[in-house]
Chain A
Amino acid sequence: MSDARGLASWLTTTDHKRIGLLYFWTALAFFLIGGIEALFIRAQLAQPNGRLVSAETYNQLFTMHGTTMIFLALMPLGASFFNYMVPLQIGARDVAFPRLNAFSYWVFLFGGLFLNASWFVGPLFHAGILNVAPNGGWFGYANLTERQYSPGPNIDFWVLGLQILGISSLAAGFNFIVTILNMRAPGMKMMRLPVFTWMTLVTQFLIITAFPVITVGLAFLIFDRFFGTHFYVREAGATPILWQHLFWLFGHPEVYILILPAMGVVSDVLPTFSRKPLFGYPVVVYSGVLIGLMSWGVWSHHMFAVGLGPIADSVFAATTMLIAVPTGVKIFNWIATLWGGDIRGTTALHFAVGFIAMFIIGGLSGVTHASPPTDLQQTDSYYVVAHIHYVFFGGTIFGLFAGIYYWWPKMTGRLLDETLGKTHFWLQFIGMNLAFFPMHLIGLLGMPRRVYTYAPELGVGSLNLVSTLGAFLIALSILIFLVNLWRTRTRGRPAPNDPWGGATLEWSIPSPPPVYNFSVIPTITSRLPRWTTERHGPMRDPPATPPEPIHVPGGSWWPLIAAFGLPVLALAPLTHTLWVAFAGAALLLLGVYRWAFEPFEV
């Protein structure tokens, strides 16, 4: 990594490794905030007739929990690995557009701060603190989100914040597509890419196609709320169902945007700790691509309760059941990779295997939603909450933790403690099953989701208590993880280039890598370049010092300044002041122009 020190060197950095770390720490902070929101929710629901928070606060808590976890924690944690690992895995010195990469990060940071500022700025809108945070659910269903029904600034924060975050994801999407397709080292054919890089590529294609759709949906809502249009107003002849279509057209690919990177991590971790090549590599890759394509044809299964008619319901039921097939194929490939392998039970492997187990449960409950009659019983109940958490927590979070324990030594040069790591794993594993498994039953027994309390007569009090205990157990496991991170700063064992005996390129260079990554760009002759297989011996690692000087592009202030224009622009409608809009646009234009014309060697 770059040797430059000081705040300015971080604010202007265009080094993909530093940006990866910035993504990591920022996303971790938002993950903790989202987790604290979850703990409030669970504390409120621990007993019937809970009185910890009011219904109004509860609405803000679950809305911000969902929004934060999806857009500010899981997606950027994935992005942290895209940034740090993809260039290393393909043998490149940086991403295709280093400054655009910095821009993506800053936009993400400002978007997250903008959304979360809503917790504290109530007094500016003549309301109390903790009063104007978004409160319409992470899905923001129209027409509840119209000005008529949500007059406060709550939904404004949500709709403008998501619009900002979309720009970050889109910019990163273009960047990584070009990076992966165009910046590969000689000999790194597409079918030699590590699966994590492959899944990153599929994810980026989903991002650049899905986010424009939500952009349009959100733009309609902005126009409805600020300029008096009627896109979702029934009285004007419009239909709120339009929002549901636009949202889920984005929303279902988004589900795979969240899970595919985790699948990629697991596909890299399992072979390393089984000392076996991934079973059926091409099939895993093609399944990932197929999942990406099919994710565009299943959105209406979120809308069975709307009553779209028997034809639509049948078609979407069929496509939804069908998409389980490539997912199932991957699961068998992972199990077959472990089968007969020389297994080392590291923390990373624990999380990867935990991912498989939990994701199977989440996947199966997902298939039960695929049948419209069954789905009608489950819609809006805690059963769906159980499903989403088995997929996102048991799936994405476990997969990402596998990635953290696997790649942390590469990113920081120090190994995380394995004992603390396994304690973290087991507590989290038990905690998550205690927290989320009872929700299946709570839902089937009739408890609706998103309601701030329930009556004792419903008979779900003890199940809810168990769930709450599980949530706090998860919190404890995360605390242990934080202790582990903190401890590693000074007491972690220094990591060699390759602490695990990995097959892919990132392990051929020092931990953490030098600013130029590869002293000599390697030439790749196989899919497992660092392993001995029947067909070839291991590649030679690049020399420790570069044989000739390597020019590394310097930093730039302009991505940060351009990115700062966006939250300023978003403030204009919130404050109803035109000059703020001009200020924001001017900042953005200034940033973009100076960026375009500054000398910057790539």
Chain B
Amino acid sequence: MTHASATQHHTSMGLDNRKMAFWAFIGSECLLFGSLISTYLVYKGRSVVGPYPNQILNIPFTSVSTFDLLMSSLMMVLALAAVQRGDMKWGKIWLFSTALLGLVFLGGQVIEFSEFVNKGLTISTNLFGCTFFVLTGTHGAHVTVGVLWLLTLWVRALQGKLGPANAMTVEITGLYWHFVDVVWIVIFTVVYLIQ
């Protein structure tokens, strides 16, 4: 990650190798989440026992989580802009804020999951439980990876090892982060808003 400048050779398409690989990875991830979301939709309303989605989903609570994650994307944009212009003081602040908002989102997911379990919905209760926990859990795992990644960059920045020369690394982290955010918007719409 630290030798971004070394990899910015001339390339046939004029696009950085790592960035292109990442776009391909995101394409692949679309199929992954596409399959998970399709399964959720196919199995919607087929649970033979409760609790059912309308009895348990807490839209106001999750709306706050969603807003939090959207704001983290804004922090990410600011972080990249700061690193690109060499303003590492604000770069560090925005990187940390992005990770922090990610952590808040994950905390919200922990609270939500525990509440569901308390109300009798576990991963093995019914089809809604299976599809809901696996879909949102996979997304949560992606957010976790993103938070680890952001904190790593933040530590590198604190050590003075992250500068404008590594802007591409931050940009790719941002690609990932925004993608995970966009996936959440789809999940929020499909699972929570359209019941």
Residues of A within 8 A of B (CB): 96-97, 170, 173-175, 177-178, 181-184, 188, 208-213, 215-217, 219-220, 223, 227-231, 235-238, 242, 246, 249, 593, 596-597, 599-602
Contacts and interface: CB of A to CB of B under 8 A. Distances in A.
A231 B27 contact: no
- Give the interface size class of chain B: 35 or more
A521 B111 CA distance: 58
Given A174-B25, A208-B24, A230 B17 contact: no
Contacts of B20: 177-178, 181-182
B37 to A, nearest CB: 10
Contact of B43 (A188, A211, A237): A237
A178 B17 contact: yes
Given A231-B39, A249-B35, 15 more contacts: A96-B17, A181-B20, A182-B17, A184-B12, A188-B12, A220-B39, A223-B123, A229-B123, A236-B47, A236-B48, A237-B48, A238-B130, A242-B42, A597-B2, A602-B9
B3 A600 contact: yes
A228 B35 contact: no
Contacts of A210: 31
A246 B38 CA distance: 10
Contact of A173 (B17, B24, B126): B24
B6 interface: yes
A221 to B, nearest CB: 12
Interface in B124-145: 124, 126-127, 129-131, 134
Interface string B144-188: 000000001000000000000000000000000000000000000
B46 interface: yes
Contacts of B12: 181-184, 188
Contacts of B1: 596-597
Contacts of A220: 39, 134
Contact of B28 (A96, A184, A211, A599): A211
B194 interface: no
A152 B1 CA distance: 43
A530 to B, nearest CB: 21
B160 to A, nearest CB: 14
A212 B32 contact: yes
B40 to A, nearest CB: 11
Name A's interface SS.
Answer: helix
A231 B1 CA distance: 39
Interface of B: 1-3, 6-7, 9, 11-13, 15, 17, 20-21, 24-25, 27-29, 31-32, 35-36, 39, 42-43, 46-48, 123-124, 126-127, 129-131, 134, 152
A221 B6 CA distance: 43
B29 to A, nearest CB: 7
Contact of B24 (A174, A211, A213, A215): A174
A217 B35 contact: yes
A96 B3 contact: no
A601 B127 contact: no
Name B's interface SS.
Answer: helix
Contact of A229 (B21, B27, B31, B134): B134
Nearest to B20: A178
11 contacts: A174-B25, A178-B17, A181-B12, A181-B20, A209-B27, A227-B124, A231-B130, A242-B39, A242-B42, A600-B3, A602-B9
Contacts of A597: 1-2
Contacts of A181: 12-13, 20
Contact of A209 (B3, B31, B39): B31
Contact of A182 (B13, B27, B47): B13
A182 B11 contact: yes
A219 B134 contact: yes
B7 A602 contact: yes
Contacts of B152: 593
Contacts of A236: 47-48, 126-127, 130
Contacts of A600: 3
Contacts of A238: 43, 46, 127, 130
A556 B13 CA distance: 28
Contacts of A593: 152
B13 to A, nearest CB: 5
Q: Which of B3, B28, B43, B131 is packed against the most chain A CB atoms within 10 Å?
A: B28
B184 to A, nearest CB: 18
A27 B153 CA distance: 39
Q: Which of A170, A208, A230 is packed against the most chain B CB atoms within 10 Å?
A: A230
A237 B47 contact: yes
A237 B131 CA distance: 12
B142 to A, nearest CB: 13
Contact of B35 (A170, A177, A216): A216
A184 B1 CA distance: 24
Given A181-B13, A229-B123, A175 B35 contact: no
A601 B4 CA distance: 10
A595 to B, nearest CB: 10
B134 A237 contact: no
A587 to B, nearest CB: 16
Contacts of B24: 173-174, 177-178, 208
Contact of A97 (B17, B29, B130): B17
B28 A170 contact: yes
B55 to A, nearest CB: 17
Contacts of B48: 235-237
A597 B21 CA distance: 19
A181 B152 CA distance: 30
Contacts of B127: 230, 236-238
Contacts of A219: 134
A386 to B, nearest CB: 32
Contacts of B47: 236-237
A593 B149 CA distance: 10
Nearest to A207: B28
A217 B15 CA distance: 34
B28 A208 contact: yes
